[in-house]
Structure 1
Amino acid sequence: MIDDDLDRPDGVQQYVLTLGAELTRRGHDVHYVASTTRRTDLPLHVVGRNVGVTFNGNRLNTPLPASRAQVRDLLARVPFDVLHVQMPYSPVLAGRVVSAAAPGTAVVGTFHIYPHSWWVSAGTRALGLLERRRLRRFRHVFATSQAAAQFAQRTFRVPTHVLGNPVDVTRFPPATGPVPADRPVRIVFLGRLVPRKGPRELLDAVVAMARAGTRNPWTLTIAGRGPLHDELAATVAREGLTGVDLPGFVAEEDKAALLADADVVALPSTGGESFGISVVEALAAARGVVLAGDNPGYRTTMAGLERQLLDPADTATFARVLGRWVDDPQGRAAIARRQRAAAARFDTPRIADEVERAYRSALAAARAEH
């Protein structure tokens, strides 16, 4: 269950859809409960409607109150064995479903966020206090990273088990075949062009690297759309940078090829990340090195690769690190093998195995009590 819609490819939506598809493949009868959603290709139950807000640096939807009659009708039609709630949740939608669920229904949660600002922390803590009684229904709570687990403990006071997002790494095979000797080193950023994803900091570091010079020629692709596009394009023009491309939105079916062709993938998020799906995808696909912002959420994703984490705000060091990898093809090839092994930790079947175990345990406990 998700309080938001299922129309956008954001992290929580990807978690729900990827895990749901795998559980369906394994023979489970999976239903999706969401707020206002347009898609019609799922066994979907739309409860209530939502309005757009900005939260934790993201644009998302928050639900208006669901009627109790609507909730009762849903649970009468679909007597869930397990209700898997994405957290934090709205008391007026997911909260009402949790309260109305039959006593023998096992309630499981996944906590997704790490705060980007003090008011997100304060608001989530207040929500945890408000939901104290209802949280007792949860038999098991996952957190997508160690940072998210710590935040869940501070705000919701619930014990969690750290389990990353499921990612279908088979969709991101590494490139094969030799790279032409005269091809420039390809640096790639892929993500929303918003401040916390770090495209400004990346471009500042590239400007500094260009001034310092590298032995090898390079190109830079900043792929994605968002409010910073025109500002970034203006910086490229002002600095007279050549070989820099801002192609805009990249479709899901084209992401794998873009990442697989990258010699350096730079994802310098400045914070507010509870996990890094885009980081895992890059680790699986890139023929070269993946550099990521040193923020708490990415540390779980990049475990074992901590030397590739960097402070995006430290422009001079960021530029030196970029230049070092641009000029080290042997090092890029060697690290790519370790990166693929790191990405495999989050392959969907592995994550689904853990989720299934939690479902069975939670369901057995719920039925034993009722």
Structure 2
Amino acid sequence: MSEPSRAPMKIAFVLDDSIDRPDGVQQYVLTLGAHFTRQGHEVHYVCSDATRTDVTVHSLARNTAVAFNGNTLRIPLPTSRAALRDFLDRERYDVIHVQMPHSPLFAGRIVDEARRVQARTVRIVGTFLILPNGRVSEIGTRVLGRVQRRNLAKFDAFCGLSPAAGEFAGEALGIEAPFIPGAVDLEAYAAATPAPRADDRLRLVVLGRLVERKGAVELVQAIAGLAPEVRARLDVRLAGKGPLRERLEQQVAQAGLAEIVTFDGFVSEEDKPGYLSAADIAVFPATGGESFGIVLIEAMASGAGVVLGGANPGYLAVLGDRPEVSVDAIDIAAFTASLDRLIRDPALRAELHEHQTQRVRQFDVTVVGEQIMELYGA
């Protein structure tokens, strides 16, 4: 089916962080932006300090680092309203797409000044991207919503990256944010060449930041609980960097898993499709704080054998209702049992692979892009 023909638009993706960071928010806007560029639209990224030159970037703020929702984030320092007003008057965007929750000192000011400069000739939309990971981040988001009531009233439409994220946005900010998922470019991921393998052991791949809520500690405990003959069948690859690296290495050594567990460090965006494609089982055991599972759909799209994820609301929006592919990672016995079943049962892996191959189609950027275009009023 051919995509609808539309007049070219000038679109600004606004995020408080830098576009340089290899995180989920950046992947979300870059995937959509690349798709819209291919459709003939002009796409800009308006953010804090950044250095990349392969896309059109406007770095209009300086950042400082803070801890929030189980991550280390960089938030913008106050930005001159006059400078933002001059910038917006010069660029004259048709659509400003803000990643939320957003800072009143940068993205919030862009929204304010865009309304002053262009009144209602620019459409302002927002994607609500988070689920709180704990009481502190939940309270912080609710307080931010109260502070930004007037700013939120200047938006034309919102969406949530998962049903749970949209529901929380309604509770915390008083906005209506229907579910529009994250996206991958299926065509690009399908072309991935699997990373080379040294033997025929089952490859179990984990990719993500090495922080508490991503579940790497629980994964190692679950693997240690497998029978020795089952463990011996595995080639476990842990990819990512973060403060838990040294602790995880010690945990692996103490559990006698050094012969089957390899720490591969950071994997670039260019290498990610091939890395995931080589997995017989790709595991993302996050325990919470996930609004959506971009990396899960990347793994499915790359052709990974089976994608197993933590049973948190954001990941379940990707995985669906097949209990074999979701697990409460904190329940180590259940986690071990899930891994054991997938390792021992190749027929089940094949069935689940086919199911996920079909399911991932709904997250293709051509499908999601149409939903976003409707949000833009196009």
Q: Report if TM-score (shorter chain) is over 0.5.
A: yes
Q: Tell me which residue corresponds to 2:38.
A: 25
- 2 CA distance for matches of 1:48 and 1:287? 39
Q: Tell me which residue corresponds to 1:353.
A: 370
- 2 CA distance for matches of 1:215 and 1:132? 54
- 1 CA distance for matches of 2:241 and 2:145? 34
Q: 1:42 to 1:259 in 2, by over 3 A?
A: closer
- 1 CA distance for matches of 2:179 and 2:231? 42
- 2 CA distance for matches of 1:14 and 1:175? 17
Whichever residue aligns with residue 24 of structure 1, its letter is: T
Task: Map Cα deviations across residues 317-360 of structure 1 (whole Å, 9 max, x no partner).
Answer: 11111111111112111211111111111111111111112212
- 2 CA distance for matches of 1:147 and 1:78? 35
Q: Write the mapping of 1:248-267 to structure 2, written as runs, cut at 5 A.
A: 248-267=265-284
Q: Tell me which residue corresponds to 1:71.
A: 84
Whichever residue aligns with residue 225 of structure 2, its letter is: A
Whichever residue aligns with residue 59 of structure 2, its letter is: V
Q: Tell me which residue corresponds to 1:225.
A: 241
Task: Map Cα deviations across residues 290-311 of structure 1 (whole Å, 9 max, x no partner).
Answer: 1100011111111243431101
Whichever residue aligns with residue 38 of structure 2, its letter is: R
Q: Tell me which residue corresponds to 2:316.
A: 299
Q: 1:167 to 1:307 in 2, by over 3 A?
A: same
* 8 A Cα contact 1:264 1:286, kept in partner: no
Residue in structure 2 matching 1:46, options 42, 52, 59: 59
Q: Tell me which residue corresponds to 1:316.
A: 333
- 2 CA distance for matches of 1:125 and 1:287? 38
How many equivalent pairs are there?
358
Deviation at 1:171? 2.9
TM-score, scaled to structure 2: 0.90
- 2 CA distance for matches of 1:90 and 1:47? 13
Q: Name the SS for the 1:152 alignment partner.
A: helix
Q: Does 1:140 align with 2:157?
A: yes
Q: Tell me which residue corresponds to 1:167.
A: 184
Q: Does 1:89 align with 2:74?
A: no
Whichever residue aligns with residue 160 of structure 1, its letter is: A
- 2 CA distance for matches of 1:306 and 1:210? 22
- 1 CA distance for matches of 2:223 and 2:232? 14
- 2 CA distance for matches of 1:87 and 1:215? 42
Residue in structure 2 matching 1:5, options 1, 5, 18: 18
Q: Report which structure shows greater RCO (CA 8 Å, sep ≥6).
A: 1
Q: Does 1:209 align with 2:226?
A: yes
Percent identity over the alignment?
A: 44
* 8 A Cα contact 1:310 1:318, kept in partner: yes
Whichever residue aligns with residue 327 of structure 2, its letter is: L
Question: What residue ranges of structure 1 are gaps of 5+ in the alignment?
Answer: 362-370
Q: Name the SS for the 2:358 alignment partner.
A: helix
Q: Name the SS for the 1:153 alignment partner.
A: helix
Which range moves more in the overlay, 98-107 or 150-159? Answer: 98-107
* 8 A Cα contact 1:276 1:301, kept in partner: yes
Q: Tell me which residue corresponds to 2:3.
A: none
Whichever residue aligns with residue 83 of structure 2, its letter is: Q
Residue in structure 2 matching 1:115, options 132, 144, 168: 132
Q: Does 1:100 align with 2:128?
A: no
Q: Does 1:183 align with 2:200?
A: yes
Whichever residue aligns with residue 338 of structure 1, its letter is: H
Q: Tell me which residue corresponds to 1:240.
A: 256
Deviation at 1:215? 9.1
Q: Does 1:55 align with 2:71?
A: no
Q: 1:19 to 1:175 in 2, by over 3 A?
A: closer
Deviation at 1:216? 7.2
Aligned CA RMSD, in angstroms, stands at 2.0
Task: Map Cα deviations across residues 147-181 of structure 1 (whole Å, 9 max, x no partner).
Answer: 1111101111100110111212223228899xx9x
Whichever residue aligns with residue 316 of structure 2, its letter is: R
Q: Tell me which residue corresponds to 1:364.
A: none
